[in-house]
Amino acid sequence: MDIFKESLVSFIKTAIKEKKNIDIANEESEKLIKNPPDVSFGDYSLAAYYMARYGFKGKPEEIAEEIFNIFMPNSARIEDLFDKIEIKGAYVNFFVNKERFASGIIQDVAGSNGNYGRGAPEKPLRVIIDFSSPNIAKPFGVGHLRSTVIGMSLSNIYEFCGHDVIKINYLGDFGTQFGKLITAFCRYDDIDFDKFEVNPVKSLYDLYVRIHKEAEENPSIDDVARNNFKELEEGLVRGNAGGLEDRLGSIDGGQTESVIGTALNKGVMDNKGRQLRITKESKSRFCDSGPDGKITLWKIFRNLSKKEFEGIYEKIDIKFDYYEGEAESAVFSNDIKEILLKSGIAEESEGAVIIPLKNIKTPALIAKSDGTSLYLSRDIVTAIFRMAKYNFDKMIYVVGSEQSLHFNQLCGIFDIIKENLNEISEKDNTRFKRYASLISGRLVHVKFGRIIGMSTRKGNLVFLEDYIKEASIKAEEKLKERLKILDDSMNEAITDLGKKLAEDWDGAKGAETLINPAGDRVDLQPEKELTERKKEQISYTSLKVGIGAVIFNDLKTRRTTDVNFKWDNVLSFEGQTGPYLQYTVSRINSLVSKLGGLNYNADFSFLKSDADFNDIFLITKQISGFRDALDSAMDQNEPSVLSSYALELASLFNRYYQNYRLIGSGLDYKPRLLMLSAVRTVLTRILNLLCVPVLERM
RNA sequence: GCGUUCAUAGCUCAGUUGGAUAGAGCAACAGCCUUCUAAGCUGUGGGUCGCAGGUUCGAAUCCUGCUGGACGCACCA
């Protein structure tokens, strides 16, 4: 909060105390102060309607008058900060001292060492953010991109606001479908093993599609698959005897290493420590040797897939603190089932195990009739493990809104466990009870809308990498076009120059360079000058612009609205787009360096009489709202709040840029340079928070 | 059928948590590059905030009903 608002907050608080003898908190006082919809109404306002609850009586206009009269005799207390206080209808409007405001904000940003807006809560929260979470046998598509960038961006936001964030990628590595995959893998003889290692996810997906098709005609395949899954799960459970309570005990003791081996992180080794590979020759060894071989096979699948995903994450600069998998929790699903059955929280129904929930008609299904685990039961175990490991205050699941029911059930289950804690026997369940009871109320499902109508021109699913490629190609076209225009204007300049050298022009055309009257060398053949370095620069820039366009496209609207996908929208880099923001930053970079760099010892003051003062004031006003935008983005788990905010700031800056020249004009550019830098600081910060690459130049 | 959710300019979306005159961007049209990057800027046109009630001093925002769309509804994840 700036000093202007701060002083209003304390003034209003005191006034209410003095006049009506009511104590209110600073936060409440702050809530009374609104930002008027238009600058002509001032910078802050107090609506009479809100004051009625503190005992102010009469028509709104009369109340406004009364409040105004409180301010007037005391105006000395605030006159330094405000130019004008006026009544307008039911509102008392405050006009800040613009010169003080503008220079104050610029000074704040300059003094923040690039950390303007960073939060430092008294009690930082420990927040787990579970996002991206692709299925290892399904290609990484645009749906996962949404979860990935929303999750990453929320992680960045919480962290920047001073909280302790743990980013987890919870791989979809388990479930009935893996029985299907194993079945398919062992069934078909024509698998291309080289392709399998290079592109495992696609290969697994193809297998899945193939067996699914075959199962439609031959339902017995489904039975084989279910059996294979059962074998897989039971095999894992057998290998990890001990049960949930023991496991929680070892987590308490600091042993957080995965129970199903370190496969997820280190690769799958044979007993001599060599990396295990599947080949045409070794395949039968995995397929025909009972559960152990199949478990190994499955471990290799998930390991290869994980590696492939990591390549994608690296490309778009996404990082996780931990990778987890569902399988880990599947091992203990049975223990959960037993506890909940014994305590009466869960009950049997048609051979399966369900938990009836309040307010939700569909009962939660936590075990299938063949005893194997389900998505929901694994999520219960996972949440308990995470509470034991990380003691989180809040856990956010960034998952599509189509899974609302699932997460409502998950939350409902922990509520019921907490309510019925006494029904669960203390014996052998102490740790379970401790951790499970803490979870209620701490889970948040951050849902997002679907992406509708996205397909290639042939109507197929779009893979993320192709999506980015498409955007990058478009960016490259645009970039080359711009360079060409630059060249053309350069040639025009040369033509002007050429008037002087008209006689020599033909000859000059063949020359590589020309010396202009100022003594600069002018390249005549920019095409030829497209050196390797330049080409590299172009493809680098294009890639980052493409990525920026794609990511920003996912973060610019509120998460819950479905995205109506249109190629034209993503491939346009004008207006409310990522490239527009990137462009704005690189424009500032260029300007700052042309003005000779920053000097923080410069004078921060602006004069009301300056031609550009009003626009500078508007820019600083926008900058001052950064903290609010951050808070609001965090409270609502909504990155788009920052997107809108950044677009507004960029737009204000670009207008300024267009209207006033800094080079060669009479304006004192030193304080303005700091203003530029402040805009850049905030925009760069937001781009970082939103996972949009920042470009030095474009 | 039940549940969740959405409906704002031709299109894509904002709308400060119930407050002042509903705003942007695309697209259309008209302008602006001898001068700091035109991925930019300026201007014009474009609205019964799905419909009907209700609550309130005050509703795009809250409640009810209706219409229309999306998603979900026990052995998938």
- Across residues A478-501, what is the average pLDDT? 63
**Whole-Å CA distances, A540 to A370, A465, A533:** 53, 15, 10
Q: Which residues contact A586 (CB under 8 A, 6 or more apart)?
A: A695, A696, A697, A698
Nearest nucleotide to A89 (CA to C1') is: B20
The more confident residue out of A677 and A268 is A677
Nearest nucleotide to A479 (CA to C1') is: B39
Q: CA-to-C1' distance for A691 and B27, Å?
A: 29
Residue-wise burial string across A317-353, b where 16 or more C-beta atoms lie within 10 A, e elsewhere: ebebebbbbbbbbbbbbbbbbbbbbebebbeeeeebb
Nearest nucleotide to A650 (CA to C1') is: B40
Give A152-191 pLDDT, tens digit per residue. Answer: 999 999 999 999 999 999 999 998 889 999 999 999 988 8
Q: Is the pLDDT of residue A53 over 50?
A: yes
CA distance A370 to A365: 13
Nearest nucleotide to A376 (CA to C1') is: B77
Q: CA-to-C1' distance for A67 and B13, Å?
A: 39
Nearest nucleotide to A662 (CA to C1') is: B36
Model confidence at A77, pLDDT cuts 50, 70, 90, reads: low
Neighbour count for residue A535 (Cβ, 10 Å):
10
Torsion angle, CA of A291/A296/A301/A302, rounded to 10 degrees?
Answer: 100
pLDDT-wise least confident of A15-29, A432-446, A543-557 = A15-29
- Across residues A598-620, what is the average pLDDT? 88
pLDDT-wise least confident of A35-49, A473-487, A573-587 = A473-487
pLDDT-wise least confident of A45-59, A323-337, A459-473, A496-510 = A496-510
Give A500-528 pLDDT, tens digit per residue. Answer: 443 333 334 444 444 443 334 444 444 44
Q: CA-to-C1' distance for A655 and B43, Å?
A: 14
- Across residues A93-107, what is the average pLDDT? 94
The more confident residue out of A291 and A247 is A247
Nearest nucleotide to A574 (CA to C1') is: B39
Q: Is the pLDDT of residue A368 over 50?
A: yes
Q: Which residue is nearest to nucleotide B23 (CA to C1')?
A: A37
Q: CA-to-C1' distance for A658 and B31, Å?
A: 15
Angle between helices A640-659 and A626-635 (to 10 degrees): 160
Nearest nucleotide to A38 (CA to C1') is: B20
Tokens 């005893």 identify what position? A371
CB-side exposure of A12: number of CA atoms within 13 Å?
28
Nearest nucleotide to A542 (CA to C1') is: B39
Q: CA-to-C1' distance for A302 and B62, Å?
A: 49
**pLDDT (0 to 100) of residue A517:** 37
- Across residues A77-84, what is the average pLDDT? 79
Q: CA-to-C1' distance for A671 and B23, Å?
A: 32
**pLDDT (0 to 100) of residue A22:** 87
Torsion sign, CA atoms A8, A12, A18, A19: positive
CA A222 to chain centre: 38
CA distance A537 to A549: 18
Kindly report the CA angle at A587 between A583 and A589, in degrees rounded to 5?
120
**pLDDT (0 to 100) of residue A530:** 61
Q: Which residue is nearest to nucleotide B74 (CA to C1')?
A: A365
Q: CA-to-C1' distance for A556 and B13, Å?
A: 9
Q: CA-to-C1' distance for A378 and B61, Å?
A: 39
Q: CA-to-C1' distance for A645 and B58, Å?
A: 28
Nearest nucleotide to A351 (CA to C1') is: B75
**Nucleotides on strand B with an atom closer than 7 A to protein CB?**
2-6, 11-17, 19-21, 23-27, 33-42, 57-58, 70-77
Q: CA-to-C1' distance for A408 and B53, Å?
A: 33
Tokens 């091992």 identify what position? A331
Q: CA-to-C1' distance for A647 and B9, Å?
A: 20
Model confidence at A457, pLDDT cuts 50, 70, 90, reads: low
For residue A654, give the nearest of A689, A688, A683 by alpha carbon: A683
Nearest nucleotide to A47 (CA to C1') is: B19
Give A376-414 pLDDT, tens digit per residue. Answer: 999 999 999 999 999 999 999 999 999 999 999 999 999
- Across residues A671-694, what is the average pLDDT? 96
**pLDDT (0 to 100) of residue A463:** 86
Torsion angle, CA of A432/A322/A272/A296, rounded to 10 degrees?
Answer: 70
CA distance A109 to A619: 13
Indicate the SS3 state at residue A128. Answer: strand
Indicate the SS3 state at residue A690. Answer: coil
Q: Is the pLDDT of residue A204 over 50?
A: yes
Q: CA-to-C1' distance for A448 and B71, Å?
A: 11
Q: Give strand pairing partners of A364.
A: A355
Q: Is the pLDDT of residue A328 over 70?
A: yes
For residue A379, give the nearest of A365, A392, A389 by alpha carbon: A365
Task: Quote the mean pLDDT of chain A.
Answer: 88
The more confident residue out of A289 and A40 is A40
Strands A44-47 and A33-34: antiparallel
Model confidence at A261, pLDDT cuts 50, 70, 90, reads: low
pTM of the entire predicted model: 0.92
Nearest nucleotide to A363 (CA to C1') is: B74
pLDDT-wise least confident of A59-63, A109-113, A687-691 = A59-63
Nearest nucleotide to A645 (CA to C1') is: B14
Q: CA-to-C1' distance for A540 and B46, Å?
A: 40
Q: CA-to-C1' distance for A41 and B20, Å?
A: 8
Q: CA-to-C1' distance for A567 and B40, Å?
A: 23
Q: Is the pLDDT of residue A614 over 70?
A: yes
Strands A126-130 and A82-88: unpaired
Contact A645, A80 (CB under 8 A): no
Q: CA-to-C1' distance for A418 and B2, Å?
A: 28
- Across residues A527-535, what is the average pLDDT? 69
Q: CA-to-C1' distance for A515 and B61, Å?
A: 66
Nearest nucleotide to A541 (CA to C1') is: B39
Q: CA-to-C1' distance for A413 and B67, Å?
A: 36
**Whole-Å CA distances, A666 to A462, A472, A534, A606:** 54, 41, 36, 14
Q: CA-to-C1' distance for A635 and B69, Å?
A: 29
Nearest nucleotide to A59 (CA to C1') is: B57
**pLDDT (0 to 100) of residue A499:** 45
